[in-house]
């Protein structure tokens, strides 16, 4: 029996097509993936991401405990800052990728992937002493309002001064009368916000925002558009592009690894990998012939298996078939060419600069 | 747009066919394109190649999924819709018109008549829902 978010009825009423995603019954699209994708790039889209989980560390030592678990450095950030980070295993591989919200050194809230909610909570509980992680996943619904019109729409529904809330900063404020954690973050490459609220208030907030933004082109957007938008930005999707067997250094996420911050789980492995050199890298590529690269397709060079495609789609904004995949480091520089095997046929591809999409 | 045009014959795999003189035009149904979502790529057979009823003759890809196209009849490919290479979304916009896929010279012209009529196909879809 798949789980449902508090917005399930709202999705049905809006005519969404529902799919199973990590055990959750989620809207994949309302009208069409491409139209929702384009709305987010040109106006705004509203996503239900309530399936994401939250784990909280509270009390003296919370920041230090989080910093032992995470690859990025919360000590270097300020209160009110959101920090993208790896939650790594001893081999440096991703247990998950998370966004950690620093309310204060004594309160850290981590947003985790839906597919990893239980695993992450267990992982953190087993490896944290002094502070006890609390699974807050059922206490929050999460809505993502994304797009160039997002700020204007949201501002009419809240007293919080959005013009002074910078990217990757958050605050607590009422939105349409609903108490929220209001974070200027997202997964689309557009300006936007993620709003965490009580599950019982999610539907009121959802429709208040949709009504407010309708005239400016705000539409409900599903997981299909979320995926094509993030792929055009080369934002990693856990389980596709990153997993326990791949490290942030391989995934091109070296910036979320702070080796100089003190010890954290996975650090020794990453130091070793850095010293020895990274052998494979996650690159963005486009196809030079027609076709669509997909997760799991082989990457071949001179007839020999060389890597694997981790994500791919026809990019609705870039209007090209684009993909993300791991290749040997010698094939990772911009302009390198290889082939993607599509139904037994090698299709030429070239490594390009990412993000694929720039406004 | 009529979702189940009366003048067409259908397959359980959601292809439609239309006899035009000696050839059979093939496409996917309104229901099929709706299920697929935005079509981003269509892979069609070469001109002159042979296709076999019930076997895949091509591939259609939407933003999310890859699906086989199944031949409604056996025969030789007489024409392919080249316009879909540049504008695959035509399959969504006009599935029974400009979004056609191929024309086939059927080995057995009588084969088309054995396919589902509009009423039978419509019932198939409604039973599924």
A310-342: pLDDT as tens digits: 999 999 999 999 999 999 999 999 999 999 999
Condensed to tens digits (0 to 9), the pLDDT of residues A11-29 reads: 999 999 999 999 999 999 9
Residue A28 backbone dihedrals phi, psi, to 5 degrees: -90, -30
3-class SS of residue A214? helix
Topology of B18-128 in CATH?
OB fold (Dihydrolipoamide Acetyltransferase, E2P) (2.40.50)
- The chain B residue lying nearest A228, using CA atoms, is B63
The string of pLDDT tens digits covering residues A90-116 is 999 999 999 999 999 999 999 999 999
Interface test with B, best of A297, A314, A323, A345 (most B CBs within 10 A): A314
**Domain assignments of chain A as residue spans, ordered by start:** 8-49+140-232, 53-137, 279-351
| pLDDT computed for residue A1 by the predictor | 81
Q: Running DSSP on this structure, what letter comes out for residue A37?
A: H
Q: Determine the distance from the C-alpha atom of residue A169 to the mean position of all C-alpha atoms in its chain, rounded to a whole number.
A: 16
Helices A33-42 and A223-232 meet at what angle, rounded to 10?
60
β-strand A44-48 against A218-220: which pairing, if any? Answer: parallel
Q: Are A16 and A206 in contact (CB under 8 A)?
A: no
pLDDT at B43 over 90: yes
Give residue A88's pLDDT.
Answer: 98
Over residues B93-127, the pLDDT tens digits come to 999 999 999 999 999 999 999 999 999 999 999 88
The top-level CATH class assigned to A279-351 is mainly beta
Residue B2, pLDDT score: 73
Is the sign of the CA dihedral A212, A213, A219, A221 positive or negative? negative
- pLDDT in the model for residue B1: 52
Residues of B in Cβ contact (< 8 Å) with A286: none
Q: How far apart are CA B36 and CA A187, in angstroms?
A: 24
Give me the DSSP letters along A150-162: HHHHHHTTB-S-G
φ, ψ of residue A181 in degrees (nearest 5): -90, 125
- Residue A7 and residue A48 in contact, taking contact as beta carbons nearer than 8 Å: yes
Is residue B128 within 8 Å of B24, Cβ to Cβ? no
Instruction: Work out how many CB contacts closer than 8 A connect A with B.
Output: 39
DSSP annotation of A294: -
- Nearest chain B residue to A320 by CA: give it: B40
Q: What percent of chain A has pLDDT over 70?
A: 100
How many CB atoms within 10 Å of residue B54? 13
Two domains, one topology: A8-49+140-232 and A53-137: no
pLDDT of the residue at A252: 97
The structural domains of chain B, with segments of one domain joined by +, span 18-128
**Please, what CATH class does the domain formed by A53-137 belong to?**
alpha beta
Supply angle C-alpha A136, A81, A119, rounded to 5: 35
Superfamily of domain A8-49+140-232: Probable tRNA modification gtpase trme; domain 1 (3.30.1360.120)
Q: What is the ipTM of this complex?
A: 0.87
Nearest to B61 among A224, A228, A292 (CB): A292
* Structure confidence by residue, pLDDT tens digits, B4-37: 999 999 999 999 999 999 999 999 999 999 999 9
Closest Cα to residue A26, out of A12, A40, A46?
Answer: A12
Determine whether A148 is exposed, middle or buried from the number of CB atoms within 10 Å of its CB (0-12, 13-18, 19+): middle
Token pair belonging to A221: 């957007």
Q: Is B85 in the A-facing interface, judged by CB distances under 8 Å?
A: yes
Statement: residue B65 has pLDDT above 90: no
In chain A, residues with a C-beta closer than 8 Å to the C-beta of B61 are 292, 314
């Amino acid at each position: 029996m798949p789980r449902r978010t508090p917005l399930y009825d709202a999705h049905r009423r809006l005519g969404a097509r529902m799919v199973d995603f990590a055990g959750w019954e989620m809207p994949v699209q309302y009208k069409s993936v491409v139209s929702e994708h384009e709305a987010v790039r040109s106006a705004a889209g509203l996503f239900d991401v309530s399936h994401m989980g939250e784990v909280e560390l509270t009390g003296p030592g919370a920041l230090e405990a989080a910093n032992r678990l995470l690859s990025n450095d919360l000590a270097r950030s300020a209160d009110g800052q959101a920090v993208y980070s790896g939650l790594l295993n001893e081999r440096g591989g991703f247990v998950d990728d998370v966004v950690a919200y620093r309310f204060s050194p004594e309160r850290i809230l981590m947003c985790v992937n839906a597919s990893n909610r239980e695993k992450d909570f267990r992982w953190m509980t087993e490896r944290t002493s002094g502070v006890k992680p609390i699974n807050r996943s059922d206490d929050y619904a999460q809505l993502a309002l994304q797009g160039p019109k997002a700020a204007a729409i949201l501002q009419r529904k809240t007293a919080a001064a959005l013009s002074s809330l910078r990217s990757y900063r958050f605050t607590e404020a009422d939105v349409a009368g609903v108490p929220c954690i209001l974070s200027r973050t997202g997964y689309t490459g557009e300006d936007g916000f993620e709003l965490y609220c009580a599950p019982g208030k999610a539907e009121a907030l959802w429709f208040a925002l949709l009504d407010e933004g309708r005239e400016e082109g705000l539409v409900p957007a599903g997981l299909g558009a979320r995926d094509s938008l993030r792929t055009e930005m080369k934002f990693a999707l856990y389980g596709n592009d990153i997993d326990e067997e791949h490290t942030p250094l391989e995934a091109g996420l070296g910036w979320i690894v702070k080796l100089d911050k003190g010890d954290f789980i996975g650090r020794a492995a990453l130091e070793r990998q850095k010293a020895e050199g990274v052998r494979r890298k996650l690159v963005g590529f486009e196809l030079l012939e027609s076709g669509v690269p997909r997760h799991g397709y082989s990457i071949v060079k001179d007839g020999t298996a060389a890597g694997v495609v981790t994500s791919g789609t026809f990019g609705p904004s870039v209007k090209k078939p684009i993909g993300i995949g791991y290749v040997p480091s010698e094939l990772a520089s911009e302009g390198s060419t290889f082939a993607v095997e599509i139904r037994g046929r090698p299709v030429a591809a070239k490594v390009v600069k990412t993000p694929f999409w720039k406004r | 747009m009529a979702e189940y045009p009366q003048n067409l014959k259908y397959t359980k795999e959601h292809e439609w066919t239309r006899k035009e003189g000696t050839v059979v035009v093939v496409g996917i149904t309104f229901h099929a394109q709706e299920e697929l979502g935005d079509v981003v790529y269509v892979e069609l057979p070469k001109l002159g190649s042979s296709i076999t009823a019930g076997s895949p003759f091509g591939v259609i890809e939407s933003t999310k999924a890859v699906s086989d196209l199944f031949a409604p009849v056996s025969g030789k490919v007489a024409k392919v819709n080249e316009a879909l290479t540049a504008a695959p979304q035509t399959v969504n916009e006009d599935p029974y018109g400009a979004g056609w896929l191929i024309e086939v010279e059927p080995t057995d012209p009588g084969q088309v008549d054995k396919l589902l009529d509009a009423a039978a196909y419509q019932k198939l879809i409604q039973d599924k829902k």
